Structure 1
Amino acid sequence: MASAEEITLNAPHSPPPKAIEAFRVVEHHIKSEILKSRHHWNLHEPKMWSRAAGISDAELVRFDISRDLVLCRSAPTSYGTIILGKIRLPAISDEEGEGFVHVRIHDPPNRGVEDVTFHSLFTDEGNRDADGHPTTWRAIQNADTPLEFFNE
């Protein structure tokens, strides 16, 4: 599996048609993983999805890849292409502004997009105290949160 030191991501850019197509292949899985993550973190640390408090599951995942995938980055690896995407969550608009999730998918080589797979959601455990324990949690990013490599 790749690490940030082993790959070179291209610069953040508007999603090209191929990226939109790749994310559409796994859109249902992304939505399912958002809800799974939300439910998991609500049991352990509700701050992670706190920006979605009071918003139903259905509202939270009411996004459309062709409209709400706003930024992409990618990097080739020996086993295909890693693609990062910043997806707008239309239901999230608060004092911090619009809300976004960062998603990592993988496109294996030589087959088109039919074998694209979901990899992970970025959940930021942020700053740490002197003992190494997280002090901030964030699954919903801001517009200005950089789309950087993550391996969760």
Structure 2
Amino acid sequence: MLETARRTAEEIFMHPSGLVSGVVLSGYQVVNSLSTPNRPDTMATAETVDLGPLHEPKAESINAFRDIEHELKERLLTTRREYQKHEREYFQAVEHLSDEELAGFSAENLVAVRVAVSAYGVHLFGKVRIPALPESGPAYIHIRVFDVPGDEPAKLHSIHTEETEHPDGDKTYRAIFTDSDELEWFDT
């Protein structure tokens, strides 16, 4: 069945040049986008699909968020507990928040999204505001969601965590971002 879905998606979205064309998929719109189709042995990457511009979430993005909201909150809290054991700096900006405060967001706090379409579905990148934090500092998590056409619910792919190595060899870690941090493609 999965192979049939892949074949169907490739037949529907394949541009004559062999590239995936800009499409409207389950209400998500990607305009003038050409990207190489995903193959069964490759995951979508920043190099194989075009990530659309930043915009306010539309109904489809909000619905996808609602599909993953419960799992997102659980995974965020689990991830914070894990990093507290090994690298506290990732969640340093929220160490003073309770679990309820950290996970106190809802679909209304999904403030911006970027969308990419592959042969298999929609890759939704979202910026979620943590309401318990002031907007002036780190107050956002970046999430990646995958949604396929049809009735299946969207799936949480990952919560962005960032490790940056500086020229002096020092490293910084974070999972909480500022409003000015760009929402870019990430795998983890």
1:47 corresponding residue in structure 2: 89
Equivalent in the alignment of 1:143: 179
**Relative contact order: is structure 1 or structure 2 higher (C-alpha 8 Å, sep ≥ 6)?**
1
Q: Secondary structure at the match of 1:118?
A: strand
- The CA deviation string for residues 82-110 of structure 1, in whole angstroms up to 9 with x for no partner, is 0000000011228x52500000000013x
**TM-score normalised to structure 1 length:** 0.90
The answer for unaligned runs of 5 or more in structure 2 is 1-42
In structure 1, the residue matched to 2:137 is 97
**Is the 8 Å Cα contact of residues 115 and 124 (structure 2) preserved in structure 1?**
yes
Deviation (angstroms), 1:127: 2.9
- How far residue 33 of structure 1 moved from its aligned partner, in angstroms, is 1.0
Please report the TM-score for the alignment, with normalisation by the length of structure 2.
0.73
Q: Share of identical aligned residues, percent?
A: 35
Alignment of 1:39-118 (within 5 A): 39-65=81-107, 67-93=108-134, 96-97=136-137, 99-109=139-149, 111-112=150-151, 114-118=152-156
Q: CA deviation at 1:128?
A: 3.7
User: Is it true that 1:123 corresponds to 2:161 in the alignment?
Assistant: yes
Q: What letter matches 2:129 in structure 1?
A: R
Bigger radius of gyration among the two: 2
String of CA shifts for 1:90-149, please: whole Å, max 9, x gaps. Answer: 11228x52500000000013x14x421000000011234556xx6111100000000000
Unaligned runs of 5+ in 1: none
Root-mean-square deviation (CA), in Å? 1.5
Q: How many pairs are equivalent?
A: 146
* 1:148 partner SS: coil
> Given residue 102 of structure 1, which amino acid in structure 2 is its aligned partner?
H
> Which runs of 4 or more aligned residues in structure 1 lie more than 6 Å from their structure 2 counterparts after TM superposition?
none
Determine the C-alpha separation between the residues in 2 that align with 1:146 and 1:37: 22
- What secondary structure, in the 3-state scheme, does the structure 1 residue paired with 2:47 have? coil
